[in-house]
Amino acid sequence: MLRRIYDWCIDAAHKPYALWILGAVAFAESSFFPVPPDVMLIPMSLARPQRAWFYALVCTAASVLGGILGYAIGALLYDSLGQWLINFYGLGGKVEAFRAGYAEYGAWIILLKGLTPIPYKLVTITSGFANYNIWLFVALSVIARGGRFFFVAILLNRYGEWIRVRIEQRLGLWVAIGVAALVGGFVIAFRML
C-alpha cells in the first residue's frame, strides 16, 4: 500500500492537477488538516528535482494562506469551531498557557513551531485567539514556513536522486520515521502548551 501511494505521488508530479493537490494539502494543514504537505512535497520534488523550488513556493504560499484561515478561526470562531479543533487534538486545557506565552514570546513561538513538525494549525488558531498582530503573524509565517519548505527543496534539488534511491530502498522505514516525526510533533505540542 505504501508503495502504491508513493508511486501515485511520484506519478502525480507530472500531472497538471498535482500543484492543486499540493496547494490544497498545504493550505488545509495550516488550519485544520492533520497531514503535513511534505507527504506530497517530497515525492513530487523527488520526481522532478528541478521543480523543487517551485513546489516549495506553492507550499509556502498555500500554507501562509491556510494560516490566515487558522488565524481567523482563532480570532472569530474560537468559541465554536476553533475550540472544537483544539479539543479534537486534546489540547483544550493548554490553550490559555499557550496564549499567555504570546505576550512575551509570540514571535519565537511562531518561528520555532513553524519550522518543526509540531502541527502548525495550533499556532495559527492560537495566534488568532491571542489577537497577535496579524501582519507580524503573516511575516513570521512566511519566514517559518518558507524556511521549512525551502530547506526541503534545497536538499531534494541538490541530492534528489541520491535521496530517492535511499527512500525507495527502504520506503517503509522512511514512512515510519515520518509518522514518528508527526506523532512526535503532536506529543511535543501537547507537552509545550
For 153, residues 6+ apart whose C-beta sits below 8 A from its C-beta are 45, 52, 53, 55, 56
Q: Please tell me the predicted confidence (pLDDT) of residue 78.
A: 75
Q: What is the pLDDT of residues 77-104, one digit of tens each?
A: 877 776 777 777 776 677 677 667 777 7
Q: Please tell me the predicted confidence (pLDDT) of residue 65.
A: 97
Closest CA to 13 of 62, 60, 51: 51
CA-angle at 26, arms to 33 and 106, nearest 5° = 80
In the chain, the amino acid numbered 11 is D
Residue 146's pLDDT band, with cuts at 50, 70 and 90, is very high
DSSP string, 11-52: HHTTSTTHHHHHHHHHHHHTTT-SS-THHHHHHHHHH-GGGH
pLDDT, greater one: 24 or 122: 24
Task: Name the pTM for this structure.
Answer: 0.77
Closest CA to 57 of 146, 144, 151: 146
pLDDT of 68 strictly over 90: yes
Q: Please tell me the predicted confidence (pLDDT) of residue 130.
A: 84
Q: Please tell me the predicted confidence (pLDDT) of residue 149.
A: 94
Count of CB atoms within 10 A of residue 37's CB? Answer: 31
Which range has the worst mean pLDDT, 70-74, 145-149, 170-174?
Answer: 170-174
pLDDT of 69 strictly over 90: yes
Q: What is the pLDDT of residues 157-192, one digit of tens each?
A: 888 778 777 777 777 777 777 677 667 766 665 565
> How is the chain split into domains, by residue range?
2-31+44-192
Q: What is the pLDDT of residues 28-62, one digit of tens each?
A: 999 888 778 888 898 888 888 889 999 999 999 99
Cα–Cα dist 36/179, whole Å: 10
Span 94-116, average pLDDT: 78
